[in-house]
Structure 1
Amino acid sequence: MLGFLQRIGKSLMLPIAALPAAALLLRFGQPDLLNIPFIAAAGNAVFSNLALIFAIGIAVGFAKDNNGAAALAGAMGFFVLSACATSLNKTINLGVLGGIIAGIIAGMLYNRYHNIKLPDWLAFFGGRRFVPIVTSGAMLVLGFIFGYVWPYVQTGMSHLATWLYDAGVFGAAIYGLLNRLLLPLGLHHVINTLVWFEFGTFKGFHGEITRFLNGDPHAGLLLSGFFPIMMFGLPAACFAMIAAAKKEKRKAVTGMLAGIALTSFVTGVTEPIEFSFMFLAPALYVIHAILTALSLAVTYMLGIHDGFSFSAGAIDYIINYRIAQKPLLLLFVGIIFAAIYFVVFYFAIKWFDLKTPGREDDDLIETNPDPNAAGETGDKYEAMAARFIKDIGGKENITNIDHCTTRLRLTVADSQIADGTAMKHHGAHGVVKVNKTNLQIIVGTDVEFVADAMKKLVQSSADLPDTGITASEPSLVTVTIGAESVCAPIKGKLLSITDVPDKVFSEKMMGDGFAIDPEEGLVVSPVDGKVSGVFPTKHAIGLTGSDGLEVLIHIGIDTVTLNGEGFINYVQEGEGVVKGQKLISFDIEAIKDKVPSLISPVIFTNLDPSKHVVLKKSGHVALNESDIVTFD
C-alpha cells in the first residue's frame, strides 16, 4: 500500500510540473499586468481542464515505460467516466479527483494489458492498442457506479473542505504539519492536490491555487504560510548548519548548503535542504514540521492571502505580488521565521550534538561529484548513474526506476544491500530505505537526467562503464623522488589550487595540486610514466608516474561540455610517456568564450594526506619547467 501511494505521489508531479507555465500566462494576461486577454485565456485553458491533464499525466506516470498509449487511455477513460456519471446525475462534478482515478486505472490497465496477444483475426487490436479499449470498458462500469456513489463523495469532500476552513488557524496548522510530515514518504503531493485543486469553489474554479490565480479574494490562506518557510526559514537553517559545522569541514559544506539555500529562496524547491538533515537529525525535522505548521497558522491569523503556481519561492512571490493581500507583511513574517530557524537550528545542533552536514563522526562530507570528472563515460549523469547502480547492488537488484522532482524512486529486490554511504559520496543528498523493496535517492532538480541514464544502463546488456571513482578510499603512495621532478605541463601563470574557480578542485575534493592559467594550447607530460586514462572528450588526461604518483590534468572548467571540440589528443591509454612529451593540444581562441575559465588544475589524486603541495615560485612558468612545487 505504501509503494502504491508513493507511485500516486510520483505520478502527480508530472501534471503539477506543467502548471507554472500556464500560471505565468494566466497572470501576465491579467488587467493589472499586460492586460492581454488572449494570453490569459491560454493559461486559463490549462486550469479549466485540470482533470483531463491529471488523467493523462498520472496514466503516463503509472505506466511501466511511460508510453503514450497510457496517456490516450487516461484521456479516453476520463471522458467515458465523466460522461457516464453525469448522464445519471447532472449535479456530479468529478473534478481533479476523477481525473486522478481515471489516470490510475488507465496506468494499471496499461501495465496489465500492453503486451496482450489476441487471436489472429483480432491481432490488430492487441498489445498497446488494446489498452484504451479495455480502459473505456472499465470506465463504463465505473461511471455507472459513480453515478450513484459520487454525490456522497462530493458531499464528503465539501464537508472536509468546510471543516478545514472552519477550523481556521488550527486547520491551517494541521495542513502545514501533515504537508511536511508526509514529505519523507513522498505522500505530501496527495494532500496537496486536494487543497490546491479541489477545496473551495469560485466561479466554477476549484482549489486554493486555481481560485487564487482567478481572482478569488478568499483564496490563498492555506498557501501563504509556505513563503516564510521556503524563502526564509530553510535558507536560514542552511546557514545555521554552516555555522555549527566543524571548522575543518565548514568550507566544504558551505558550497553545498549555500547553493541549495539559494535554490529554496528562488524556486521554493526545498527537498535538497530537508533531506540533508532529515535522517542525520530527525528531531530537527520534527521541529521543522512544527515551525511550518506555526507559519501557516500565523499567516492565516494575520489574514495574508498569497499563492503560487508550483512552490512558494521568490519567483512566485514577485509574479503574484499585485494580487496578493498583505504581501509586505508576509516578508516581515518571513524575516522573523528566518531568525527563529537560525537560532533554533544552531542551538539544537550544538546542544544535542546533532550530526548535520559538517558534523559527522567520520570524514565523509556529502558533496556532489565533480561535474567535469565524468570518468570514462564522458557524461556526468551517466557517471553518477553508473556509480549509483553499483552502490545499490548492481543491475540485478533493481526492478524499476522512477523519479519525481528531486529524488529517484526505485523498486529493488533488497534495499538492505544498498550502500547509502557510498551513494552520498557519489552525489546523493540523502538516501531513504522505505522498506525492503522501495529505495529513494535524493539527487536534486536534475534527477530526471540521472534517472534516464540509469534506465539506459540497466536495460543495456553491456557491463557498467568504468566511472573512475569508487566509494573506497584511494590508495596512497609515498613520494620517493620528490615533487621537484614534476614539471609544468602547460605554459602560463602558476596558481595555487585554491584559485581554481570550481569548488571540487579548490576545496581539494579530488586531491591536492596546483593550477596554471594557460598562455598557449599545448599540454605535455609532467612526469615519466604511462597514460592511465584519456577522457573521451579530450579535456582531461590521467597519468601514473614511475613512482606510482597519479596525476590528473584537467584543461579548463566545464570543458567537458565542448565534447572534444577544439582538442586534439596525441596519446592512448597504457602508452608510456616521458617528461615533456606532447599529450594534448587545444585551441585557446576557439574555446575560451565557451567555458567559464581556462584555468587548468593539475591534481595528485593519490597523494598521501600528510603531504601538501606548496608552490616554489609564483607568476609565469615555461613549458616543461622543473622545480615549481614541493610536497611539504
Structure 2
Amino acid sequence: MSILGYLQRVGRALMVPVATLPAAAILMGVGYWIDPVGWGGDNALAAFFIKSGSAIIDNMSVLFAIGVAYGMSKDKDGAAALTGFVGFLVLTTLCSPAAVSMIQKIPADQVPAAFGKINNQFVGILVGIISAELYNRFSGVELPKALSFFSGRRLVPILTSFVMIVVAFILMYIWPMIFDGLVTFGEHIQKLGSVGAGVYAFFNRLLIPVGLHHALNSVFWFDVAGINDIPNFLGGAQSIESGKGIVGITGRYQAGFFPIMMFGLPGAALAIYHCARPENKAKVLGIMMAGAFAAFFTGITEPLEFSFMFVAPVLYVIHAILTGISVFIAASMHWIAGFGFSAGLVDMVLSTRNPLATQWYMLIVQGLVFFVIYYVVFRLVITKFNLMTPGRELAVAGSEADGQDVNVSGTKEQDVTGLARQYVAAVGGSDNLTGIDACITRLRLSVKDSSRVNEALAKRLGATGVIRLNKTGVQIIVGFMAEKIADAMKTVGNVPAAAPAAGETAPVAAPVQTAKPQAMPNTTATIATLVAPVTGEVVALDDVPDEAFASKAVGDGVAIKPTAKTVVSPAAGTIVKIFNTNHAFCLETENGAEIVVHMGIDTVALNGQGFSRLVEEGAEVTAGQPVLEMDLDFLNANARSMISPVVCSNIDDFSGLVIKAQGQVIAGQTPLYEIKGK
C-alpha cells in the first residue's frame, strides 16, 4: 500500500473521534459566550459548559488512540478499541515526567520539558496505528491449550503492552531531541521579523498532526526565547508602562491567525460540503457546519483540520501555506490583535479592548478575502485531483469511517436488520440455521436441512441465486451487501421459518443447470474491455470448483489460475468493496459494470493470511494498477484452489460478454473479455 493510501486509511479511522469534537467546541463556545472575561471564573454555568467541552478537547489524544485502533481494525471489534486504550495508558504513563524521573533516576525538576507534552495527538494516532496492526495480525492466534484463555483477541492487549514498553524506551531518548530542536528552530525564526512570523505560522499548522506545534508555541508565546507574546499583549497598559510591549511587534505571531480560524477554514468547510456526493451532503453538512461554527466562534479548528489532514494531505499543506501568508501579511501591515485561548470571535472581541490592538478591524477584511481564497482553492484542488474529502468517498462519518459498510449497488438505504430477519426466515428460521458466514457477494450458510430453504422468498428479497451445495450447505447470492447482512443475521435473535406463499411449496434440492455462453453479435457496442487482473492461465468458468461461480449465479466471466503475486485492476473505475480478508474486491467501471475479482476458492477461510491490500475502498484506479499482493507459495499450499474467477456481477444490465483470452495471460496487459451494451 502506498503512503498516501495508508494515510487515507488513517484519516477514515480518525473520523470516529473527530465526530465528537464539534460537540466539545460548541460546549466551550457557549461557556465563553456566557463569561467572555472570566472564562468560567465568574459564572458557574459558564464553567459547567467550558469544563464539559474541555473534558473532550483535553483528551483528544486518547480518543485518537481508541478511534484509530478501532477504525483500522479488520473487523471493527471493540477489543481493538480496548487495545488502543491499553497501549495509550502504558506509553503515556511510562513517558510522563514522574515516570521518567523515576526510571532515569533524575530529579523531577531536571526532567526535560518535552515529557510534559507527551500526551498529544501524535502519540494517540501512533498508538492507535500500532494497536490496530497488532490486532489485525494476532487477534486470530491460538495458543496451546494450557494458555487458551489468552488466545485470540485477549492476547492483543497483552502484546500491545509489551510493544509500548519498547516504544516508550525509544521515545525517552528521541522525543526530547525533537522537541528541543524545534525550540532552537523557533528561536532562529523570531529573528526574521514578519517573514519569521509567517514561517512560524506555517510550521505551527504543519506540526499539529504530530503534536509538536507546542514546541514552537512555547518559543513565541511563553517567553522561552524572550518574546512572551501572550503576556505582553494581554498585559495591555501594564506592558506599555513597563516598556515591554512594542506596538507592531507584540502580537505579530498571533494576529494573522484570526482570518484563518474565523474565515478561511469555514470557507474550506463550504468547499468540502459542495464537493461531497449528493447522497452524502446531509451528513457532511452537519459535520462541516459544527466545525465551521467552532472555528469561527472559539478558534477551535481540530474538528475541521482532522477531517481532511490525513485523507487529503495536500489540502493540509495548502492550509499551512495560507496560514503562513496570512500571519505574514498581518505582521507586515501591523494589524495586531492577540488571543489568550485561540483566534476566534470571542478572543477578537476581547482583543478590541486592549490598548496594544492596532487596526484589528482590518483582520476582518483580510478574513473575508481568505474565505474566498480557501473556498476557491480547496474546491479546485478537490475536484481536479479527485481528493477523497468527507462525503466524496462511498461512505462518510457514521458509515464506512466508523466501520459500517454501505450498499454500493443499491440506490436506497435498506433496513439491514429487517432484511436479515427475512433471510433467516427464508432459510427455514433460526431453528434450521446452524452457521453464518459471508463471502464478498454471497451468504455461506450451514443449515440442518437445505430442503427447508425457501428459494422463491430469497429471490423476492433480492437474491440473484440460491445454491444448495448439499443437505447442510447453502449459498445465497445477495451482492455486495453479503457481509453486512451476515453480521445482522447473527444478532436478530429467534426468527420462525417463513410460511410458503399461496400455491408455493418449499423446493427440494436440485442440480443447478450451467448456462452456456452465447456468441455476441459484432455490431453490439463494447462498453468495457477488461484486462487480466493477474498473470496466469485462463480457466473456463464452467471448470471453477465452486458451484456459485460455475453456475454463473455470481456473474458471467472467466477465471485465471495465477502464477504471479500481484493482482491489478482489470479496468479503470472505483474500488467499491474490498473484503476484510483481502481475498477479493469489487470494481465499478466508468460505465457501470460491476466486476468481482475473487482470488482462489474458499480463501475467505484463511482469514486474510496470504493477502495484503495495496489500495483502499473508494479508491479511483486505472487499468493495470496494483490492488492486492499475494503470498502465492502459502496460498497454493493452503487454499482449496487458487483458480480465481473474474466476473461481471450485473451482466443482466448488458447484452453479454465476449471472451478474448485463452491460454496464458499477463496482468494488466492481455485483454480478458469485452462487455457489450444493450
TM-score range, shorter chain: 0.3 to 0.5
Give the structure-1-normalised TM-score: 0.42
Give the structure-2-normalised TM-score: 0.40
